[in-house]
Chain A
């Protein structure tokens, strides 16, 4: 990766919604050059997708529950943890899976619309997998910061005076 590619990725990581024309202006490059670069990075799968970070707590009708599940597993011969991780991450309820060091093996983030829905998923699907030895479930009660963005930030108004030296 060269400097231009890294700069571009940093810009769209912060705001995937920026028009190509604006990105080109920010980087002092031609629009076509940036468009081609984005297409190439998409093809190379350096850019995997474009997501929007929504604070669902602000959407009154929508209730969402997230649980972080610590999972102990038996690794499979030859493929270690990868195979069991794959069996877990294929479930649509699962939003993230990480291999961890320490007291348990996999950290699994599960999303549902109620606690019961998540409970059912863990007891009926996740725990039922052959290689899963145990699960410990922690429900998220409130999100303060996610993916580097402070969610409860009522502090982003400009506190500077309008004109200063």
Chain B
């Protein structure tokens, strides 16, 4: 028997991430300006790092509680209350995970039975659909429309729901589009969700990176807290991607089920990362604010530049991505990204890797220095002029 034949069917059937394919292509090139990164260009603020060193010096090198250090869960709970006005008991309604990605995986494995459908709103973060499949569920995608600024419409949601629908994954602000739904836009969705008695996995990892409006957590909407698993973490707003630290907050029964899986598969999140996160929540507010202001300026810069180049780009309300249309060039997303990389050494991510409705778009991250952004825009302008 060949080793391939041992691979589990649901894994063998998974499509490799389009991001991975494009990474392989970009990695072969030299002197690439990358707008392809989904992570901050800031190094983790020094006081978070220093606190982690200090914890190691003090001998905190062993396991923590499965659900995470209680001090950290208390701080997370406090943070959610202060920022989003949602109250969680740190004892049994919060779990610390290895990145928000693990929180999503745990949440899905905790709730999905074979045959259950989970709605994924596309364009979407590349991991949602595969993690639903790996949990034994059936992903059902909704294709949001460019003319709605890729905002999910209540009637689209209503249409996608079947008797088998159990949950929906919402990412607000969204990766890859940067689309941000405010309270008024979330409320009609919540009404549909309540009507059909669905659970919501609300991925709010970019919540602290919203620029023009106050952020409303999905869990803060009327009657939604008991049916929401709020997922977040430290990667994006706190510039801590490599620390792999996230969390989930939700109904005690669901969190207990997630802890059950976590204790057998992961034991606990890394202790030193938990200490860094503790410092981030206690003393990181100014750092987060400074980084957010910098992203906002760069967003203004890139959106204005892309529109000048002729790549139509709405102003995204959050995260650090723009999702401009490249349809005027007559190229597909893949062709555009590959040719741009080959001819001008600028890496962007083709929109179709985030779902079929991402075709005709590219994801450009502006989490990169202004100097690099400026150079990237000049190169893109030269490229687009040749193609149009």
Contact = CB atoms under 8 A, between A and B. Distances in A.
Most-contacted residue by chain A among B32, B36, B175, B241 (CB, 10 A): B36
B125 interface: yes
Contact of B127 (A160, A163, A165): A165
A143 interface: no
Contacts of B301: 22, 25-26
B347 interface: yes
A149 to B, nearest CB: 14
Contacts of B305: 25
B41 to A, nearest CB: 7
Given A158-B34, A160-B37, A160-B39, A165 B297 contact: no
Interface string B8-31: 000000000101001100110100
Interface string B350-388: 000000000000000000101000100000000000000
Interface in B36-83: 36-39, 41
Interface in A74-121: none
A140 interface: no
Interface string A146-164: 0000000000001011111
Contacts of A28: 300, 304
A101 B367 CA distance: 42
Interface in B115-155: 125-127
Nearest to B175: A165
A15 to B, nearest CB: 8
Interface residues of A, number: 16
B40 to A, nearest CB: 9
Interface string B286-319: 0000000100011011001100000000000000
B349 interface: yes
A30 to B, nearest CB: 11
A99 to B, nearest CB: 28
A48 B29 CA distance: 45
A165 B354 CA distance: 10
B19 A26 contact: no
Interface of B: 17, 19, 22-23, 26-27, 29, 32, 34, 36-39, 41, 125-127, 175, 241, 293, 297-298, 300-301, 304-305, 347, 349, 368, 370, 374
Interface of A: 7, 10-11, 15, 22, 25-28, 158, 160-165
